[in-house]
Amino acid sequence: MSKEVVTDHGQDVVVREDTAKEFRWNKFIGIVFAGFILILIAGILFFSGALVTVKPNMNSSNSANQSTNPGR
């Protein structure tokens, strides 16, 4: 079998080809999983802010209308 070199904790290790492929695959899955979790957290934060009911301040809109029509 052919041998490949992988870096594990800063050290180069000579391993079989199938072991190297499994090592790289596990690193890839870890990175994809971490990205998925980050996107999930960002989505939860975004939608939690969007789902909060905000009551409009009626006094500020009335004062704005009064300032544009001073004759009434």
Please count the CA atoms within 13 angstroms of the CA of 47 that sit on its side-chain side.
5
Q: For 4-35, what is each residue's pLDDT tens digit? A: 898 888 899 899 999 989 989 999 999 999 99
Question: pTM of the prediction?
Answer: 0.56
Q: Are 29 and 11 in contact (CB under 8 A)?
A: no
The domain locations on the chain are: 3-68
